[in-house]
Amino acid sequence: MQTSNTRHSLAVPTRREALYQFGAGVGSLALASLLNADESEALPQSKTHHPPRAKRCIFLMMEGGPSHLDTFDPKPELNDRHLQEFTRSGKEQSAMSSGKRYFVKSPFEFKRAGKCGADISTEFEHLQTCVDDICFYRGAYVESVNHPTACYHVNTGNRFGGDPALGAWVTYGLGSENKNLPGFVVLPRTSYPQGGASNWSNGFFPAEYQGTPLRAAGSPILDLNPPTRITRDRQRKNLDLLASLNREHLAARPGRSELDARLNSYELAYRMQSEVPDVLELNTESASTLQMYGIDQPKTETFGRKCLLARRLIEKGVRFVQVYSGNWDSHDYIYRAHGSLIKAVDKPIAALLKDLKQRGLLKDTLVVCCGEFGRTPDNGQRSGGKAYGRDHNANAMAMWFAGGGTKPGHTIGATDEIGGKAVECAHHIRDVHVTLLHLLGLDDNRLTFYHAGRFKQLSQFGGQVINELLS
């Protein structure tokens, strides 16, 4: 958990970074001693690599792979090819996409909404009223068609996991605006996404940068309230005693970041007990606000609560909030499966955008919505060829952005005539990551962390800003 508003990524090298750069020939003991020196040159948290367009981010993760062809990227060509059979052979993305196939048209109608005329499925009854504030992007692609590796790729930049999550990089670079709350909060489903908690891991960062998940059922945070017999004064004395013992233990074992993070976590947990209950108490909102988010309706209540909580968290200074929805993995019965999921998220997401806008927060809050990959324009012979659905597709996916310096009321990029591949303004997911950091005032090439013998970055080995997405 982020416990400090001290910023660790710098526009100029710190003493530690400079030593790493020329320290390859220095004896390990001497280098270790030098690295423990005070980093008094660290720049204050308010310093970014360049002027930011956004101060914070809400990332809506549609886990399972939502179909771009049935949401924001209509393909009339598929109407003409519907149920046309063919055999695909050669180098395929996966075994499921080879062999006998048939094309599948979208079961949904589309309309051109807003002044900008954005294409959107009519199932999005509420989101279609927000399209003039949204930048739709159809040019993204990834590398994996397996859910765990694809989730890792979108969330951490590394298909194989083990690296810091996107929210960890952002809080590492910018710090937290509220010392009583984590800088990176995750609102998962009851069942975690494929790949589990590694999707919001601190990776090779100190443990304090990991995402803090709030439980989807029951108390969002266990033991948030101490036993009634334990007063705040007694709790404070217990923590002080524990801290003195742990610091003595740590002094004899320098460099143990896990223990240092644990000490910080104890302190943060103590402070959270006084602030978090108020943040989580949604009943302090007006009845009209609860209704706007759909919290009064069974279908939209769960995701509506998450979206409203995301707004309250960023208002309190949380830097990065990730909100999960799923499961969008519709191989069969896409009309029923996607139709139900769209109805569950449509009203809450529209409410979030409108709420942020009317509070003056959308201009410097970046909202991102995507899954881990798109879906194919065709399917295999499943369920007798009648339960129309789609397979995984790493070559094309749709995502959208709102606020935070992105270009409102625009659709950027395009896929081919059947939606199988991104062909216009096509960019790898690493460029999306670089663009997101750029909007927050961070330069991916300068936001680095020394680990395993080299300076590492979110994009792995560099990327480019997608300027077409910027206002």
Q: What is the pLDDT of residues 234-256, one digit of tens each?
A: 656 666 676 677 777 777 777 66
Comparing 326 with 407, the larger pLDDT belongs to: 407
Q: Can you give the residue ranges of every domain in the chain?
A: 44-469
The residue with tokens 């809450």 is 348
CB count within 10 Å of CB 250 equals 16
Q: Is 39 helix (H, G, I), strand (E, B) or coil?
A: coil
Q: What is the pLDDT of residues 243-296, one digit of tens each?
A: 677 777 777 777 666 666 666 666 565 555 555 667 788 989 999 999 999 999
Query: For 39-53, 75-89, 356-370, 440-454, which range has the lowest pLDDT when averaged over its residues?
Result: 39-53
pLDDT for res 119: 98
Q: Which tokens in the block code for residue 294?
A: 């759909």
Average of pLDDT values for 414-433?
Answer: 98
Distances (CA, A) of 138 to 94, 109, 186, 188, 464: 22, 19, 26, 26, 17
Comparing 87 with 250, the larger pLDDT belongs to: 87
pLDDT for res 463: 95
Q: What is the pLDDT of residues 130-164, one digit of tens each?
A: 999 999 999 999 999 999 999 999 999 999 989 99
pLDDT for res 167: 98
Q: Does residue 327 have a cis peptide bond before it, meaning omega lies within 30 degrees of 0?
A: yes
Q: Which fold has domain 44-469?
A: Alkaline Phosphatase, subunit A (3.40.720)
Comparing 395 with 382, the larger pLDDT belongs to: 395
Does residue 455 have a pLDDT over 80? yes
Tell how far CA 108 is from the center of its chain. Answer: 27
**Vertex 68, ends 121 and 90: CA angle to 5°?**
145
CA dist 80 and 58 (Å) reads 39
Q: How confident is the model at residue 232 (pLDDT cuts 50, 70, 90)?
A: low
Nearest residue to 199 (alpha-carbon basis) of 251, 245, 147, 237: 147
Does residue 20 have a pLDDT over 50? no
Percent of the chain topping pLDDT 70: 76
Q: How confident is the model at residue 225 (pLDDT cuts 50, 70, 90)?
A: low
Where are the strands (E) in 286-363, listed by range?
320-325
pLDDT for res 219: 62
CA pseudo-torsion sign 307, 310, 314, 319: negative
pLDDT for res 12: 44
Q: What is the pLDDT of residues 151-208, one digit of tens each?
A: 999 999 999 989 999 999 999 999 988 888 889 999 998 889 999 999 999 999 988 8
The pTM of the full predicted model, rounded to 2 decimals, is 0.83
Rounded (10°) CA dihedral 454, 457, 461, 467: -160
Q: What is the pLDDT of residues 348-392, one digit of tens each?
A: 999 999 999 999 999 999 999 999 999 999 998 765 557 889 999
pLDDT for res 383: 58
pLDDT for res 279: 78
pLDDT for res 281: 84
